[in-house]
Structure 1
Amino acid sequence: MKRLLIAAGGGGDAIATAMVHAALHGPDEPALVLTYAWERLVVDPVPGPRRPSDFTGTVTAGPTLRLVTPRSAPRPPAGSLLPRLSADLRPALGLLDPYAGASGLARQIEEAAAYCEAGHVDVVDVGGDILADGTEPTLRSPLGDALVLAACARTGIPTSVHVAGPGLDSEVPEAALLPLLGDPLHTLTHADTLSVQAVFDWHPSEAGALLVAAARGIRGVCGTRDAPHPVTLGDASPHVYRLTLARALEINPLARALAESASLADAERASERVCGFSEIARERARAAQLAQEAGESPGGGTAPSEPRPLPRPLPERFAEWERRTADSGIAYVTTRRIAEELALSLAQLTALRRHLSTASPARHTPPLWRLAAVEA
């Protein structure tokens, strides 16, 4: 027998789900985490979620359910971090395929419940956009979470919905969420992070990193790459809250609108009606823009016959960026923000991390980095 959990938002939510499971039930309790292979374009250049046919080496666990293992691999040009994640997380990982809408997801959840011999489902969401009402100006990715709620309702299997780290995904503000959540079920601690701590040495999840940082006692203003405003880690940030499925459905109009969806196209149309946008359409537009930018010739600039200026030393570039970032009121940053804003290759990022850890060990507060202004 295994516990059955669902990482509602895909991406880094699988990490947080494993951490919440370990905190509530112990790290050695057997579990299966169902998750989307729906990742940022920096990881997967193909817009939208991946399905089983996008992978090699998955394991059949039911007529429509597939498990992702360390031997699985995405088929190019698709990309996915799930195979590597499956090697670093203790729970097994199952792939959610939303291309048949809530009805198809419901079948996969039922198959997973049978595979696990589980009579209950625990849904976990980092940040709280699973409780979005669709009008939030900062809302960016409501569809996956809402589909999970709709699918769980279709199964009839008793389901609990957990929100970890309210507001940490920068989609629904903490102040809007707290009145909906009631008293916390659990407060994550440093000990609860031990089962996932190594993952953030390579995984770009920012909401998950902030949740781990909060559990380790870090408080202050944190800068991430994908949010219009920085996130403040406060007293509620390490909390985990539990709601009934009925209450979550009552709050989330998109989930209710998805109840009869039988395809991902149906789900997109519902999102456009309720929220005013489709996040997959936004991904398609962004992917097309990136492809166009990659294909454009630079034009202008330094003539080939002229000597190119020597690149500035990486520590010097970082110091200038750090001063500018700290001046905006940010005390901590994610590794991903450093890497993307400085346009670092993996080798450059590794060299910079080594330099910072050696020159100023207190700078690294895993999985975040403390800016120099905080040390003074």
Structure 2
Amino acid sequence: MTRLLIAAGGGGDAIATALVHAALHGPDAPALVLSYAWERLVVDPLPGPRRAADFTGLTPGPGTLRLVTAATAPRPPAGSLLPRLSAQLRPALGLLDPYDGAIGLARQLHDAARYCGADRIDLVDVGGDVLADGTEPTLRSPIGDALALAACAESGLPTSVYVAGPGLDNEVPLPTLLPRLGPPALRLTAAHTTTVDRVFAWHPSEAGALLVAAARGVRGVCGTRDAPQPLTLTPESADVHRLTLARAMALNPLARALLGSTSLERAEEASLSTCGFSEIARERARAARGEGAVPPALPFDPAAFAIWEAGTAALGVEYVTTRRITEELDLAPSAVRALRDWLATDHPGRAAAPLWRLRPLARPGR
């Protein structure tokens, strides 16, 4: 049997899903991970998720199942990191196409289960927004998770819901989230992370990078690009919590509102009603303002980095993601390689893979 898993939010959740699969079933156990192709605008300038028609080279499976391989490519101007991920993750990847709502996704789950010979689903979310009730002021992206949850309910297939790295996506405040989770089912360790070693040399997922760092024992205050406030990695940041599908559905009113939905437009309407916003509408507005434009191709300048580092460390930040450095310094791809080489080779002790350790500010009198 090939295990069937869902990366609830798309993007970096596919990496975390591969990591959780390795912890649950072993890194070599055959698995298929279904994921949305839903990237930040600097990767994919088109708002919202991509559908099967937005790709070439998808491999057809039974019915509606479409497999993503290294030979798959997005049709310009669309962008997607899934084909590159498929070349480096051990589980196979399949595309979740949400344009026919929870009903359409449930059909895809049944076709994937038939392909895998699987009789159950593991749904994995990093951070915990799959359990959002829609009132959290920091909530940014509830639609994908809620649709995946509703699709599992529509499918009738037995489903376990896993929340890895509670709070690492900075969407549901940790004090609000923890009472919803119950005790952890397992704690990730460095041994579980070997399957995703190469991915963070190029993939921008911050929640995924934080999860891997926590599993490897990194502890301290971390600054990310996506969140206004830094978060603190603790031993609990490497925990994975298991919930029943019924419990997750009871906690997520948007998922309940999406039962029976047959379009992504209906999901937007439900999000507006339940959460007060639609992340797709926000992406449309950001794209119209040009916020997804590729930044200037600046070279790496150690002096500019030193100024940036001093200002960031002054905020109490001990570790940062590669994405935060590159986006705040507007580095070109070639400059990112120069940055990595400079930090890893010329400044030993900086690497806290896949994060970077900042040099602490000198105290007065020293």
TM-score, normalised by the number of residues in structure 2:
0.96
Q: What amino acid sits opposite 1:233 in the alignment?
A: L
State the Cα distance separating 1:328 from its structure 2 match: 0.5
1:6 equivalenced with 2:23 (yes/no): no
- Show the counterpart of 1:298: none
Return closer, same or farther for 1:291/1:6 CA change in 2, 3 Å cut-off. closer
1:172-187 superposed matches below 5 A? 172-187=172-187
Q: Secondary structure at the match of 1:194?
A: helix
**Corresponding residue for 1:171?**
171
RMSD: 1.6
Task: Please say if 1:342 is aligned against 2:354.
Answer: no
**What is the correspondence of 1:238-277 to structure 2 with a 5 Å cutoff?**
238-277=238-277
3-state DSSP class of the match of 2:330?
A: coil
1:24 maps to what in 2?
A: 24
SS in 2 for 1:373: coil
- The within-5 A match list for 1:123-142 is 123-142=123-142
**Equivalent in 329, 340, 345 of residue 353 of structure 1:** 340
Change (3 A) 1:231 1:337: same
How far the C-alpha of 1:235 sits from its partner, in A, is: 2.2
CA gap 1:3/1:313 in 2 versus in 1, 3 angstroms: closer
Equivalent residue runs for 1:207-226 within 5 Å = 207-226=207-226
Structure 1 residue 215, shift from structure 2 partner: 0.2
- Give me the identity figure in percent: 69
Equivalent residue, structure 2, for 1:59: 59
Task: Tell me the distance in 2 between the aligned counterparts of 1:358 and 1:161.
Answer: 41
Query: For 1:314-325, what aligned pairs fall within 5 Å after superposition?
Result: 314-325=301-312
Say whether the 8 Å CA contact 2:217–2:235 is kept in structure 1. Answer: no
Shift of 1:352: 1.6
**1:50-95 CA-partner distances (Å, limit 9, x unpaired):** 0111000000112211000000000000000000000000000000
C-alpha distance in structure 1 between counterparts of 2:267 and 2:319, whole Å = 37
Q: Secondary structure at the match of 1:372?
A: coil
2:55 alignment partner AA: F
What SS does the aligned partner of 1:124 have? strand
The Cα of 1:173 is off from its aligned counterpart by: 1.4
CA separation of 1:375/1:54 partners in 2, compared to 1, >3 Å: closer, same or farther?
A: farther
Q: How many Å apart are 1:358 and its aligned residue?
A: 2.0
- Are residues 1:109 and 2:96 paired? no
Deviation at 1:280, TM superposition (A): 0.2
SS at 2:40 equivalent: coil
Indicate the SS of the match to 1:16.
helix
What are the Cα deviations for residues 128-171 of structure 1, in whole angstroms up to 9, with x where unaligned? Answer: 00000000000000000000111100111000000000000000
How many residues of Structure 1 are paired with residues of Structure 2 in the alignment?
Answer: 360
Displacement after TM superposition at 1:174 (Å): 1.6
Tell me the secondary structure at the aligned position of residue 49 of structure 2: coil
- Residues 205-262 of structure 1: CA distance to partner in whole angstroms, max 9, x if unpaired? 0000000000000011100001111111112100000000000000000000000211
1:44–1:78 contact (8 Å) kept in structure 2:
yes
Return the alpha-carbon distance in structure 1 between the equivalents of residues 287 and 63 of structure 2: 32
CA, structure 1 residues 247+222, in 2 after alignment: closer, same or farther (shift >3 Å)?
same
Q: Deviations over 1:288-334 (max 9, x none)?
A: 1017989xxxxxxxxxxxxxxxx997000000000000000100000
Distance (whole Å) between structure 2 residues aligned to residue 69 and residue 219 of structure 1: 35
Q: State the match for 1:95 in structure 2.
A: 95
4+ runs of 1 displaced by more than 6 Å?
Answer: 291-294
Contact 2:165/2:236 (CA < 8 Å) preserved in 1? yes
Are the structure 2 counterparts of residues 215 and 289 from structure 1 closer, same or farther at C-alpha, using a change threshold of 3 Å? same
**Structure 2 CA distance for aligned equivalents of residues 218 and 175 of structure 1:** 21
Q: Once the two structures are superposed, what CA deviation does each residue of 1:1-38 show, in whole Å capped at 9, x if it has no partner? A: 20000000000000000000001100000000000000
Q: Distance in 2 between matches of 1:212 and 1:312?
A: 28
Consecutive unaligned residues of structure 1, counting only runs of 5 or more, are 295-310
Q: Distance in 2 between matches of 1:313 and 1:113?
A: 47
User: Is 2:286–2:292's contact at 8 Å kept on the other side of the alignment?
Assistant: no
CA contact (8 A) 1:331 1:374 kept: no
Hey, what's the Cα distance between the residues in 1 that align with 2:145 and 2:276? 17
How far apart in 1 are the matches of 2:300 and 2:71?
Answer: 39
User: 1:127, 1:164 within 8 Å by CA — same for their partners in 2?
Assistant: yes
For residues 216 and 148 of structure 1, what CA distance do their matches in structure 2 show? 29
